Amino acid sequence: MASLPEPDRPWLQGLNPPQRAAATLLEGPMLLLAGAGTGKTRALTARLAHMLATRAAWPSQILAVTFTNKAAREMRERLRELVGDAVEGMPFLGTFHATAARILRRHAGLVGLTPNFTILDPDDVERLLKRVIAEAGLDERRWPAKGLASLLDRFKNAGKLPADLDAADLHAFADGRAGDLYARYQAELRALDACDFGDLILHLLAILRTHPDVKAEWQARFRHILVDEFQDTNAAQYQWLRALAAPSEGGTATLCCVGDDDQSIYSWRGADIANILRFERDFPGTRVIRLEQNYRSTGHILGAAGGVIARNRGRLGKTLWTEARDGEPVEVVAVWDGPEEARLVAERIERLQREGAALSDIAILVRAIFQTREFEDRFIQIGLPYRIVGGFRFYERAEVREALAYLRATLSPADGLAFERIANTPRRGLGEKSLARLAAFARASGLSLQAAAAALAETDELPGPARSGLRGLVAGLRRWRELAPSLRPPALLDLVLDESGYRAMLEADRSVEAAGRLENLRELARAMEEWPDAESFLEHVALVMDNERDEAGEKVTLMTLHAAKGLEFGHVFLPGWEEGLFPSQRALDEGGEASLEEERRLAYVGITRARRRVTILHAANRRVYGQWTSSLPSRFVAELPNEHVTRVTTMTGGASLWRAAVMGEDDPFAHLARSTGRGPGWSRAAAQPRHDRTIEGRVLASTVGRAPRADIAVGGRVFHQKFGPGTVTAKDGSRLEVAFDHAGTKMVMDDFVEPAGGAA
Ligand code: ATP
Ligand code: MG
């Protein structure tokens, strides 16, 4: 097979010699290190195709990790073109999250979860942490859940379980209580039969550590492991790869990792570039392959990107060349304000369209997702089709979240957060008080919220309307759960929305927004169509919360620079290159040189997404929280080498500093080395790129848990918080029938009564 001439091996066609080596040398560990657009991903895909086509491994024996779901989809499609059906049944081609989730479901019992565990999105995590913080007796205003969320994420990305924390870790939150809170949070997750993103890998690591048989099973299964965007793996992910493949761990799989140190942009999520340096030590005999020819971009684009990244000190260093022409210089446009920026970009896009460019080949890449707003406004005005990728837009909408919560509560009865969200939406008589009561009872009795609701609904503990509302909901959930296996996902959604009264609630609302919400629910049903069952759809939603929703049709793409990694477009617009926005204020304030270098890598990633044309923009004025402030051009604007750039300004006059920066004169940022690096206008907006996102923060009232009681017997006197004194006339588990002195005979839960002493 290996000696077939190339026409018979179409998957190798057109590859250059080092790419071909990367694709065909299947023995031994391999590290493919090369700059943007040099065909790393293409070589990796060819390597997969080669394995499949030459039967070097069965599809199920290959673990292939991509950075985004979109990249996984593209790789799968490309493989199908190259090797046809041989790609079928590659269960382990996907992101770290997706593949880990798939494996974890098989062993969920080993970490106290059921195979149907829920994956919480960041919003749910934060709500849960608020509760954990309150129950630990801490003041959430002083110790915010957001801070704890990112700390725990950091621990998890580093592969640390609560037991692995050191003194510094423990003191990173609430005066030494980080470990306690971490453990409480994990216990809460287990009780909810849920995990967060970080857990997916962390649980697997824990299982591999403690169950040698499971470890051996997976080591034996995978013959080849391939990882794209390796520079952005975190410590936990690397430990996992190592456990599966390193000879020192007993691994036999061949590991091939592909990456570019200049494109490491996720250190804030725990990505660790040191993994590249560690690799050769952990995997002796590693073959390192370098690619230097860039196939994507024009000479000017490469020159501009190279000029910026050359300012970074901490890099492995590499040269790139291209056979492509110089093309057009990168254009830097200074505009007056944000709306003008959007107007100008829209005009340019229309011009490109007239010249024959496809909208899908055009992208606007922003530093912070809130920047998309202005472009959306403009595009809606002029009817330019666009889509937003990389935000939380669609699945974040209240009605979509609520519809999804209905499905989650239907399919995962233990999912208390979902139940909490839908309990009184639409209104079914369950006020804050009743909900708090329900939560208290659930905690005291150790039941899930839904199970507690089912029990409580059969008693008189709650006021009449709340009781019948709850009863209806519980019965509905039971019924939908029973019907679920026989329904297609969109049909299940429709059933739930109709029978729960949720859709009727929106229909009764005559506002414009309600109409939009109904449309979104229809859109949700459409999105569910391609999934075999609602469970896998829910998992998909959880996994794509960093949203790569694919829509058909010709549309301009708006996305963050972070989400654009690995992608390419003919024409790329890079707006908002201003100090405090890009580089972000947070990077300037908190991270020192290392953060600034990461921002610069982000600039490099942005520029190198383009094949033909790059337009960089910066505005002199921005509105921040309704206030106009003036801003300085990004230092990266000045770092663009003049020979690869045309600078255009619609501005006249102004500060010489500003002009110098716009026109690329000398080093206009020398002063920044002395000062804080803060532009005059940028205060907080950039540091909080998601300020427009409101976190829905209703948290169930915290209570002190009580153990279920055995000290109440039939005939005993009790005192009930609401109904007063009475005599127990019957007992059924924790349910009591009580003849109250003043309130008649009622069913109550034993948690709400106190023994009153003495017989009737
Ligand atoms: P990034 O660092 O941005 O992830 P990359 O190194 O993964 O980039 P690819 O996306 O694989 O690069 O390739 C960039 C472009 O160059 C693609 O359009 C690809 O099809 C093309 N390309 C790659 N290798 C070759 C080749 N040998 N001949 C022609 N075109 C190629
Ligand atoms: Mg790539």
pLDDT digits over 397-411, tens only?
788 889 999 999 999
pLDDT at res. 682: 30
Q: Mean per-residue pLDDT for 614-633?
A: 80
**At residue 717, does pLDDT exceed 60?**
yes
Residue 507 DSSP class = H
Q: Are residues 216 and 162 in the same domain?
A: no
Q: Are residues 42 and 122 in the same domain?
A: no
| Token output for 220 | 């034996």
**Mean pLDDT score of the chain:** 83
Query: How far does residue 331's CA lie from ligand 2's centre (Å)?
Result: 25
The set of residues, in sequence order, having a beta carbon less than 8 Å from that of 661 and lying 6+ positions away, is 632, 633, 635, 637, 638, 668, 669
Judge whether 101 and 200 are in contact, CB under 8 Å.
Answer: yes
Q: Whose CA is nearest to atom 11 of ligand 1?
A: 39
Measure the CA–CA gap between 609 and 362, rounded to whole angstroms: 10
Atom of ligand 1 lying closest to residue 19 CA? 27
From the candidates 19, 24, 41, 560, which is the catalytic residue?
Answer: 41
Judge whether 525 and 394 are in contact, CB under 8 Å.
Answer: no
Q: Whose CA is nearest to atom 4 of ligand 1?
A: 566
The set of residues, in sequence order, having a beta carbon less than 8 Å from that of 585 and lying 6+ positions away, is 678, 682, 683, 684, 685, 686, 687
Residue 262 lies in a domain: yes
Q: Are residues 477 and 408 in the same domain?
A: yes
Q: Are residues 211 and 283 in the same domain?
A: yes
**At residue 544, does pLDDT exceed 70?**
no
Name the phi and psi angles at 699, rounded to 5: -120, 140
Judge whether 184 and 443 are in contact, CB under 8 Å.
Answer: no
pLDDT at res. 255: 96
Q: Mean per-residue pLDDT for 197-208?
A: 95
Question: CB-based burial of residue 94 (10 Å sphere; 0-12 exposed, 13-18 middle, 19+ buried)?
Answer: buried
Query: How far does residue 259's CA lie from ligand 2's centre (Å)?
Result: 8
pLDDT at res. 668: 39
- Cα 754 to chain centroid, rounded: 47
- Of the listed ranges 1-10, 78-87, 526-535, 603-612, the one predicted with least confidence: 1-10
pLDDT at res. 334: 94
Q: Is 186 a catalytic residue?
A: no
Give yes or no for a cis peptide into 725 (omega within 30° of 0): no
Measure the CA–CA gap between 363 and 349, rounded to whole angstroms: 10
Q: Are residues 411 and 509 in the same domain?
A: yes
Q: Are residues 77 and 208 in the same domain?
A: yes
| Token output for 532 | 């075999």
Query: How far does residue 293's CA lie from ligand 1's centre (Å)?
Result: 9
Q: Whose CA is nearest to atom 27 of ligand 1?
A: 15
Query: How far does residue 449's CA lie from ligand 2's centre (Å)?
Result: 45
Judge whether 370 and 689 are in contact, CB under 8 Å.
Answer: yes
Q: Are residues 469 and 535 in the same domain?
A: yes
Q: Whose CA is nearest to atom 18 of ligand 1?
A: 296
Residue 688 lies in a domain: no
From the candidates 123, 126, 153, 229, which is the catalytic residue?
Answer: 229
From the candidates 160, 549, 609, 635, which is the catalytic residue?
Answer: 609
Domain boundary among 476, 506, 541: 541
Residue 730 lies in a domain: yes
Q: Please indicate whether residue 312 or residue 675 has the higher confidence score (pLDDT).
A: 312
Out of 24, 41, 302, 607, mutate this one to test ligand 1's pocket (max ligand atoms within 8 Å of CB): namely 41
Q: Are residues 563 and 499 in the same domain?
A: no
Q: Mean per-residue pLDDT for 262-277?
A: 82
Out of 77, 296, 309, mutate this one to test ligand 1's pocket (max ligand atoms within 8 Å of CB): namely 296
pLDDT at res. 691: 27
Measure the CA–CA gap between 433 and 438, rounded to whole angstroms: 9
**Which residues does ligand 1 sit against, CB inside 6 Å?**
14-16, 19, 34, 36-42, 260, 263, 295-296, 566, 568
pLDDT at res. 376: 75
pLDDT at res. 625: 45
pLDDT at res. 543: 65
Q: pLDDT tens digits, residue range 650-661? A: 665 444 444 444
Residue 302 lies in a domain: no
pLDDT at res. 702: 24
- Of the listed ranges 70-84, 107-121, 345-359, the one predicted with least confidence: 70-84
Out of 295, 323, 608, mutate this one to test ligand 1's pocket (max ligand atoms within 8 Å of CB): namely 295
Q: Which residue has the tokens 């970490």?
A: 111
Domain count, the chain: 5
Q: Is 323 a catalytic residue?
A: no
Q: Which amino acid is at 586?
A: R
pLDDT at res. 498: 95
pLDDT at res. 735: 75
The domain that holds 174 is classified in CATH as: 1.10.10.160
- Of the listed ranges 362-371, 390-399, 481-490, 737-746, the one predicted with least confidence: 390-399
Atom of ligand 1 lying closest to residue 294 CA? 16
Q: pLDDT tens digits, residue range 689-700? A: 322 222 222 222
**At residue 513, does pLDDT exceed 70?**
no
Q: Mean per-residue pLDDT for 115-133?
A: 86
Domain boundary among 587, 622, 650: 650
Q: Whose CA is nearest to atom 9 of ligand 1?
A: 39
The domain that holds 465 is classified in CATH as: 1.10.486.10
The pTM score is: 0.70
Range of the domain at 184: 118-192
Confidence tier at 381 by pLDDT (50, 70, 90): low
Q: Mean per-residue pLDDT for 453-467?
A: 90
Measure the CA–CA gap between 611 and 614, rounded to whole angstroms: 8
Residue 255 lies in a domain: yes
Q: Are residues 420 and 356 in the same domain?
A: no
Residue 683 lies in a domain: no
Q: pLDDT tens digits, residue range 476-510? A: 999 999 999 999 999 999 999 999 999 999 888 76
Confidence tier at 664 by pLDDT (50, 70, 90): very low
Measure the CA–CA gap between 184 and 129, rounded to whole angstroms: 9
Residue 686 lies in a domain: no
Query: How far does residue 529's CA lie from ligand 1's centre (Å)?
Result: 33
Q: Whose CA is nearest to atom 13 of ligand 1?
A: 39
Q: Is 41 a catalytic residue?
A: yes
pLDDT at res. 651: 61
The domain that holds 68 is classified in CATH as: 3.40.50.300
Q: Are residues 523 and 590 in the same domain?
A: no
Q: pLDDT tens digits, residue range 339-351? A: 899 999 999 999 9
pLDDT at res. 455: 92
Q: Is 533 a catalytic residue?
A: no
pLDDT at res. 187: 94
Measure the CA–CA gap between 564 and 541, rounded to whole angstroms: 19
Q: Mean per-residue pLDDT for 350-360?
A: 94
Judge whether 570 and 362 are in contact, CB under 8 Å.
Answer: yes
| Token output for 758 | 């003495």
Q: Are residues 126 and 55 in the same domain?
A: no
Confidence tier at 43 by pLDDT (50, 70, 90): very high
pLDDT at res. 5: 53
Q: Is 471 a catalytic residue?
A: no
Residue 410 lies in a domain: yes
Helices assigned H by DSSP within 509-567: 512-528, 534-543
Q: Whose CA is nearest to atom 8 of ligand 1?
A: 37
Out of 12, 16, 24, 42, mutate this one to test ligand 1's pocket (max ligand atoms within 8 Å of CB): namely 42
Confidence tier at 70 by pLDDT (50, 70, 90): confident
Domain boundary among 501, 518, 541: 541
**At residue 723, does pLDDT exceed 90?**
no
Q: Mean per-residue pLDDT for 375-396?
A: 71
Highest-pLDDT range among 32-46, 533-547, 662-676:
32-46
Ligand nearest to the CA of 263: 1
Query: How far does residue 250's CA lie from ligand 2's centre (Å)?
Result: 30
Measure the CA–CA gap between 416 and 353, rounded to whole angstroms: 49
Q: Whose CA is nearest to atom 16 of ligand 1?
A: 295
Measure the CA–CA gap between 438 and 447, rounded to whole angstroms: 10
Give yes or no for a cis peptide into 583 (omega within 30° of 0): yes
Closest CA to 468 of 428, 418, 409, 427: 428
pLDDT at res. 87: 75
**At residue 701, does pLDDT exceed 50?**
no
Q: Are residues 79 and 212 in the same domain?
A: yes
**At residue 758, does pLDDT exceed 70?**
no
Q: Is 732 helix (H, G, I), strand (E, B) or coil?
A: strand
Atom of ligand 1 lying closest to residue 38 CA? 6
